[in-house]
Amino acid sequence: MSEPSTALPESFEIVTRQDFSDVTYLLEFRHPMMAKAAQPGQFVIVMSHAHGERIPLTIADFDRAKGTVTLVIQAVGKTTREMQQTCKVGARLHAVVGPMGIPSHVGKAKKVLCVGGGLGVAPVFPQARAHKENGAKVIGVLGFRTKDLIFWDDKFAKVCDELIVCTDDGSAGLKGLVTLGIDKAFEKHPDIDEVVAIGPPVMMKGCVEATRPRKVKTMVSLNPVMVDGTGMCGGCRVKVGDKVLFACVDGPDFDGHLVDFDDLSHRLKRYATTEKEALEHWNESCRIRGHADLAVK
């Protein structure tokens, strides 16, 4: 008497893979229940294979009709590089759990500035869309290192009333950091009443410093090292104001003006040495496997 609505996919099939650059790629996997439940600002924890680690990834998009969830991933460490090689269409992820975290608050703001830096462009998208659907005027600021790394500007163009693209080297759009884009946006729209900024800690720190003197509410999404994502380990603790909170269950969205970004940056380096070791071990085994393949041929 089992109903299809309670049936969970036993494994999580990848239905789309798209590469934005050498290091940035998109995965869309099938999980109808999750697609139905997902809200902007939430994240998932992925384990790509049985010996893998659990890594948190913010949901970049979800399609309730198709029953799919989209992630955008940057290949930086061992796990994300390995996934870049193994996660092709038709492949299955070992485990995906989510949506996790408190959904972003899409409130009464009338004019919202959505700022995405690098990979942070992806997770800010569902928020931009939600604010738009909520009737707000949405201004997007997207920052990339260089022109070749740009992605989803077309997707943002559809949900933003205005879109500013910045590149560090000036190869496209404004030359400069997203903070320049923020200044430009405020010049034209002094009545922006909420800012959402997602990206690397330094970038979010820059954004909150840019909005602090303007006294505009600025929400950021924190992505510290996590294990369970259910509030059980405390590995994800962050300093917000005078409190220590667990990003996975108390966040991941927090008031950026209260977040201690230096603490976040330090804590993100917790496993730097061991992670490097994992990467070297993996590179080595890839090299050996490469040789073995040659030998077979």
Partner 1 sequence: MAKKKTIRTIPQERTPMREQDPKERARNFAEVACGYRLEDAMREAERCLMCPEEPCIKGCPVNINIPAFIKKITEKNYRGAYDTITDANLLPAICGRVCPQENQCEGRCTVGDTLEPVAIGRLERFIGDMAIAEGWENVPYVEPNRFRVGIVGSGPSGMACAADMAKAGCDVTVYEAFQEAGGVLKYGIPDFRLPNGVIDAEIAKLVKLGIKFKCNTLVGRLFTVEQMVTEMGYDAVFIGVGAGYPSFMGIPGESLNGVLSANELLTRCNLMHARDFPNYDTPIDLGRRVAVIGAGNTAMDALRVSLRMGAEEVHCIYRRSKAEAPARAEEIHHAGEEGVQFHWLTTPVALLDNGKNGVKGMRCQRMELGEPDDSGRRRPVPVPGSEYEFDCDTVVYAIGTNANPIIGQTSKLKLNKWGYIDADENLATSIQGVYAGGDIVTGAATVIQAMGAGRKAASAMKAYLGLRDSEAVYQAESTGSDGKLFGIELSERNHARLRLG
Looking only at Cα atoms, what is the longest distance across the chain? 66
Burial class of residue 172, CB neighbours in 10 A (0-12, 13-18, 19+): middle
Cis peptide before 252 (omega within 30 of 0): yes
> Which residues in the 221-280 window bind partner 1 by CB under 8 A?
227-235, 237, 239, 244, 246, 249-250, 263, 266-267, 269-271, 273-275, 277-278
* Nearest distance, CB of residue 72 and partner 1, angstroms: 21
233 near ligand FES (CB under 6 A): yes
Q: Is 35 left (phi over 0), alpha (psi -120 to 50) or beta?
A: alpha
Write the interaction track for partner 1 spanning residues 36-55; mark x where CB under 8 A is met and - where it is not: -x----x----x---xxxx-
53 near ligand FES (CB under 6 A): no
Beta bridge partners of 55: 46
> Which residues in the 120-149 window bind partner 1 by CB under 8 A?
none
* Nearest distance, CB of residue 96 and ligand FES, angstroms: 15
Rounded Cα distance, 5 and 190, in Å: 47
Tell me which stretch binds ligand FES (CB under 6 A): 27-35, 83-91, 223-231, 287-295. 223-231
* β-bridge pairing 162-167 and 174-175: parallel
Beta bridge partners of 43: 58, 100
Q: What residues line the site for partner 1 (CB under 8 A)?
A: 1, 3, 5-6, 8, 33-34, 37, 42, 47, 51-54, 78-79, 94-102, 227-235, 237, 239, 244, 246, 249-250, 263, 266-267, 269-271, 273-275, 277-278, 281-282
